[in-house]
C-alpha cells in the first residue's frame, strides 16, 4: 500500500475554497504603509507583472513548500481556537479576510512567514510561537503577517526568497542575473517590513509588547523578562556607529535588523499617524511626530549607506 502524502498544488488549494485576493485594493488608502513601499506596490500592481510573478512563485512553492503545506496543521476555530481568535482579530482590524494559516514544521524557531500569490497566500507559523509568546505578542506577530497580506507583499516576498536558487540553475550568468534583481528587491523588502511592523502594532496596540515580541524572535529560548530594552538599543546603536564595513552586509538582508525595527516602531508609536489610525486618545501635552517627521526619521534609521 502506498502511504505517500499527496502534495496538492496551489491551484488545488484555491479550488478547495481559499479566499482569493484578500489583500486590500491597491488604490485604497493604507495609511500605515511606508510611503516608498506603498508607491512600489502600486507600480508593481498591474496584470502583466502579477501574472509573471504568480506563475513563477506558484511553481516554486509547489516544489519547495508543497509537501510541508500538505502535512501542516490548519489553524481554525476547531483545531486552535485561541490562536484563530487572535488571527481573526488581526484580520478584522486590517480589513482583510482571515488568511489560510497553518502550524508547520518547515518554520524554524519562534517565527512566522507568509508565502504565496494574490490568488492564494498562507501564513505558516512554528509551534513554538504559540507556546512561548503571550496572546498580545501573538497579535503583533500575526498582525505583521496579516499586514503583508493586506498590502500585497506576499508574491514579491516569496519570489525574493527563491531568486537565488533560480539563479543557480543558469550556468555562468545566473548568479549575476539573480543579484541584479535581488538587491533592489531587498531594498524594497526592508521597507515593506517596516510597514508590516506598523500593522502588527496596530493589532496589538502596545509598543512595549511589540518590541518584546521582536526580541523573542531574536533571542529564541533566552529569558528576556529582565532585559533592559533601552540599554539593549543603546548598546546596539554604539556598535552600529562604529561598524562601517558591517553596513555593506545589510545590503543582502531582506529585513532591517531587529534594533532598527524596534527604533522605527517607537517613532510610529509616537506619531500623529499612529494615533489617527488607532483612534487612541492622545495624552494631554504629548508631542507627536508629524507624518513628514515620522517618515524622515524612519528613513534615517533604516538606511544602510549614505
pTM: 0.84
> What are 164-211's pLDDT values in tens digits?
554 444 443 345 445 556 677 888 889 999 999 999 999 999 999 999
> What are 34-93's pLDDT values in tens digits?
998 988 888 777 777 777 777 767 666 666 666 777 788 999 999 999 999 999 999 999
More confident residue, 36 or 293: 293
Q: Please state, in angstroms and as integers, the Cα–Cα distance from residue 25 to each residue in 2, 87, 144, following that order.
A: 45, 20, 18
pLDDT at 236: 84
Please, are residues 110 and 126 in contact by the beta-carbon 8 Å criterion? yes
Please, are residues 98 and 88 in contact by the beta-carbon 8 Å criterion? yes
Amino acid at each position: 500500500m502506498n502511504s505517500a502524502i499527496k502534495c496538492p498544488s496551489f491551484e488545488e488549494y484555491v479550488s478547495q475554497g481559499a479566499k482569493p485576493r484578500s489583500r486590500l485594493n491597491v488604490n485604497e488608502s493604507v495609511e500605515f504603509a511606508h510611503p516608498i513601499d506603498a508607491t512600489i506596490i502600486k507600480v508593481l500592481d498591474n496584470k502583466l507583472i502579477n501574472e509573471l510573478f504568480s506563475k513563477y512563485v506558484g511553481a516554486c512553492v509547489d516544489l519547495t513548500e508543497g509537501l510541508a503545506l500538505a502535512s501542516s496543521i490548519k489553524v481554525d476555530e476547531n483545531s486552535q481556537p485561541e490562536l484563530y481568535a487572535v488571527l481573526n482579530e488581526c484580520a478584522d482590524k486590517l480589513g482583510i479576510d482571515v488568511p489560510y494559516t497553518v502550524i508547520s514544521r518547515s518554520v524554524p524557531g519562534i517565527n512566522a512567514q507568509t508565502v504565496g500569490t494574490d490568488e492564494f497566500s498562507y501564513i505558516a507559523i512554528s509551534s513554538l510561537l504559540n507556546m512561548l509568546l503571550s496572546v498580545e505578542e501573538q497579535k503583533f506577530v500575526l498582525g505583521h503577517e496579516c499586514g503583508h497580506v493586506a498590502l500585497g507583499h506576499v508574491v514579491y516576498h516569496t519570489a525574493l526568497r527563491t531568486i537565488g536558487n533560480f539563479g543557480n540553475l543558469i550556468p555562468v550568468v545566473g548568479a549575476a542575473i539573480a543579484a541584479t534583481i535581488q538587491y533592489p528587491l531587498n531594498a524594497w523588502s526592508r521597507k515593506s517590513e517596516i510597514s508590516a511592523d506598523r500593522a502588527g502594532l496596530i493589532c496589538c496596540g502596545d509598543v512595549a509588547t511589540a518590541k518584546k515580541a521582536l526580541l523573542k524572535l531574536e533571542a529564541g529560548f533566552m529569558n528576556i523578562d529582565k532585559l533592559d530594552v533601552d540599554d539593549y538599543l543603546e548598546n546596539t546603536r554604539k556598535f552600529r556607529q562604529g561598524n562601517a564595513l558591517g553596513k555593506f552586509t545589510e545590503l543582502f538582508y531582506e529585513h532591517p535588523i531587529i534594533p532598527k525595527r524596534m527604533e522605527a516602531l517607537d517613532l510610529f508609536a509616537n506619531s500623529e499617524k499612529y494615533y489617527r489610525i488607532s483612534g487612541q486618545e492622545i495624552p494631554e501635552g504629548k508631542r507627536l511626530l508629524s507624518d513628514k517627521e515620522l517618515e524622515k526619521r524612519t528613513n534615517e534609521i533604516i538606511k544602510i549607506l549614505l
